[in-house]
Amino acid sequence: MPRQLIPYDDYLRAKIRSRGYLPHWEIEGATYSLTYRLHDSLPLHVLHRLREEREAMTRQLTGGLRAPTAIERFDIEEACALRLDEELHVGRGHCYLRNPQLADTIVENLHHFSGTRYSLYAWCVMPNHVHVVFRPCEGESLERILHSWKSFTSHAAWPIVGTKTLWAREYYDRMIRDERHFFDSVAYVRNNPIKAGLTGWRWVG
């Protein structure tokens, strides 16, 4: 567990930015649960459905008359993350990460800067997506770290699976709120292969 989690009140003042329709919360010293996926893992009609479900959840909580509170946003993000994972477990697309050499490359890349650019607490490379629980070091940002992961592995994929077009532009992140949320998030990541019915899947830690 991180030596110190961010006080909950600080999350209420987190900076929120957006790349597309998904919000991304950032605060110095935060720990994140992150999912990034292959570009062909979710067809447009599934993305549209997930977006509509998010909007419906927001309307249900707010009556469509106000912006959601910070706590309501946390609840929405948790529910949407579960729905996203359900859709990813369907196994759409080429599922390039079933290739053992490419999966090993991604795992090695996750560990390469662990302890220097970030603290790595849990990870799982699934057939068409990756889960990570980590904490950026001071001066590092979630977006820069993710860009380096995607960039390196996209180039490494070419001689292995014959494509550099690997990752979707969008990603899905949630800040860890407290100790219970941290342990729940780590357990969820490590149990993801079992949940998806992948017997003997070894790319998890």
**Residue 63 in domain:** no
**Residue 204 in domain:** no
Domain that holds residue 161: 8-41+94-195
Residue 106 has pLDDT above 80, yes or no: yes
Contact yes or no for 37/141 (Cβ under 8 A): no
In the chain, the number of structural domains is: 1
- Measured CA to CA, the distance from residue 122 to residue 155 in angstroms comes to 24
* Residues of the chain above pLDDT 90, percent: 69
Q: State the Cα torsion 156-157-159-161 to the nearest 10°.
A: 170
Contact yes or no for 102/108 (Cβ under 8 A): no
What CATH number should be reported for the domain holding residue 158?
3.30.70.1290
> What pLDDT, on a 0 to 100 scale, did the predictor assign at position 96?
98
Residue 57 has pLDDT above 50, yes or no: yes
The two three-digit tokens of residue 98, written as one number: 């079933």
Residue 97 has pLDDT above 60, yes or no: yes
Across 119-126, average pLDDT: 98
Residue 10 has pLDDT above 60, yes or no: no
At which residue do the structure tokens 């494509």 appear? 163
- Measured CA to CA, the distance from residue 152 to residue 90 in angstroms comes to 27
**Residue 84 in domain:** no
**Residue 2 in domain:** no
Closest listed residue to residue 127, CA positions, set 163, 155, 88, 160: 88
> What pLDDT, on a 0 to 100 scale, did the predictor assign at position 5?
63
The two three-digit tokens of residue 100, written as one number: 């053992």
> What pLDDT, on a 0 to 100 scale, did the predictor assign at position 12?
52
What confidence tier does 9 reach under pLDDT thresholds 50, 70, 90? Answer: low
Closest listed residue to residue 42, CA positions, set 87, 97, 94: 87
What confidence tier does 187 reach under pLDDT thresholds 50, 70, 90? Answer: very high
CA distances from 17 to 27, 119, 191 (A): 11, 23, 30
Residue 133 host element (H or E): strand 129-136
Across 105-121, average pLDDT: 97
**Residue 172 in domain:** yes
**Residue 203 in domain:** no
**Residue 139 in domain:** yes
Q: What angle do CA 131, 178, 133 make, to 5 degrees?
A: 15
Residue 140 has pLDDT above 80, yes or no: yes
Across 61-83, average pLDDT: 85
> What pLDDT, on a 0 to 100 scale, did the predictor assign at position 21?
47
Question: What's the pTM value of the predicted model, to 2 decimals?
Answer: 0.87
Mean pLDDT rounded to a whole number for the chain: 89
**Residue 162 in domain:** yes
Full DSSP string of 27-60: -TT--EEEEEEETTSS-HHHHHHHHHHHHHHHHH
